[in-house]
Amino acid sequence: MKQAMTSIDVAMIVSELQHLVGSRIEKIYKTDTGTDIEQIRLNLYLFGEGRSDLVTTPGACVYLTAHPLPSPKTPAMFAMTLRKYLSHGRIVSIEQYDFDRIIEIKTMRGEVEHGLILEIFPTGNVILVNHEHKII
């Protein structure tokens, strides 16, 4: 059984996610699966395709699903922070950083640009940055 995504896997998923450029971020959730695994889920709307969820498990994987996932009754503080900066913004790019297991999703809301950095290596994080790449 495969344990983690490789740089090649990340390159392929980034390539497959390019059709999401232009999507609007509707809601953001941080879910707990009942184990030590947490997931960040971006609920997206793309004109002509409808809704889908971009899900990341920090340090493990990133995937896209059209199946509705359960939402927590109360949002986590990190999810609220992500919503504050990213909700109703548009995805302007999805890129792999230096052929590493790092994905950066750049968003625009009005004239303000933010980035969501997804680290897919074992001790990975999800990091919110401003247009100067300073952590928020």
Residue with tokens 């009005």: 110
CATH number where 97 lies? 2.30.310.10
**Candidate from 17-21, 71-75, 78-82 with smallest mean pLDDT:** 71-75
Please indicate, yes or no, if residue 2 is contained in any of the structural domains: no
Domain that holds residue 85: 7-130
Residue 11 pLDDT grade (very low, low, confident, very high; cuts 50, 70, 90): very high
Residue 34 pLDDT grade (very low, low, confident, very high; cuts 50, 70, 90): low
Average pLDDT, the chain: 91
Please indicate, yes or no, if residue 101 is contained in any of the structural domains: yes
CA Rg value for the chain? 14
CA distances from 33 to 1, 81, 93 (A): 20, 20, 29
Q: Supply the pTM of this predicted model.
A: 0.90
Please indicate, yes or no, if residue 31 is contained in any of the structural domains: yes
Distance from the first to the final alpha carbon of the chain: 36
pLDDT at 2: 63
Residue 84 pLDDT grade (very low, low, confident, very high; cuts 50, 70, 90): very high
Please indicate, yes or no, if residue 71 is contained in any of the structural domains: yes
Kindly tell me if the per-residue pLDDT of 1 is higher than 60. Answer: no
